[in-house]
Amino acid sequence: MRLVIATCEVVYEGRLSARLPRAKRLLLVKADGSLSVHADDRAYKPLNWMSPPCTTEACPDRWVVRNAKGETLTVAIDEIHLDVAHDLGFEPGLEKDGAELELQGLLADHPEAVEPGLVLVARERETGIGPVDLLCQAPDGTFVAVEIKRRGEVDGVEQLTRYLELLAGDNRLRPLRGVLAAQKVTQQARRLAAGRGIGWVEVDYDRLRGLEPAIPTLF
């Protein structure tokens, strides 16, 4: 991982155009080639970014990052204040707690509880930044990436959005859509999911364990 603090201007060109005027920012370059641009606020969320697969053309005063869709992120560098790199090594990934891991196993055995007709393709399908819980296929051939949480919140939608962006780079997984599955999905997560074109479903943990009958509803 490379961390660069620089005074820079950032221009994105693709589906639309966006510009960050000259200011001091953190540039985060990961081993997968991705670049994200951060300010000293907004917690983890970058001001702009380019997800892999992408390539970077680096000159002393300008970085140009391109992806397969033809989008570009250009960073015009006026001054570098800090430039450090460190190899973080192997990332084992996020460990789920027992209940969430059990829910994942139950839905892997019964993907039709997420959506009628779903068939499991792979469990823990790697994306490059972590595994999506389930990769399934619908009767019409569409691939469905399912992220499973005990409680579905905005962070879960954001996480699934990033996974979908990376999975979409694989031509074998088209068409592709996503579903957030949880015992409870918050209103904020529902609204964000709708805006991102992501489905959500509330599943009954007890029914999956064979304790009570219930029917999950997909929205």
**What is residue 69's predicted lDDT score, i.e. its pLDDT?**
86
52 and 160 together in one domain? no
**What is residue 218's predicted lDDT score, i.e. its pLDDT?**
47
Q: Is the pLDDT of residue 21 over 90?
A: yes
37 and 74 together in one domain? yes
193 and 118 together in one domain? yes
Pair of tokens at residue 190: 């529902």
* CA–CA dist 198, 159 (Å, integer): 12
Per-residue pLDDT tens over the stretch 99-145: 678 899 999 999 999 999 999 999 999 998 889 999 999 999 999 99
Residue range(s) defining the domain that contains residue 73: 2-85
Is 146 a member of any domain?
yes
Q: Is the pLDDT of residue 94 over 60?
A: no
Is the whole-model pTM more than 0.75? no
**What is residue 145's predicted lDDT score, i.e. its pLDDT?**
98
Q: What is the CATH number of the domain that holds 150?
A: 3.40.1350.10
Better-scored residue on pLDDT, 78 or 69:
78
Any idea how long the chain is? Answer: 219
Q: What is the CATH number of the domain that holds 7?
A: 2.70.180.20
12 and 80 together in one domain? yes
* CA–CA dist 29, 35 (Å, integer): 5
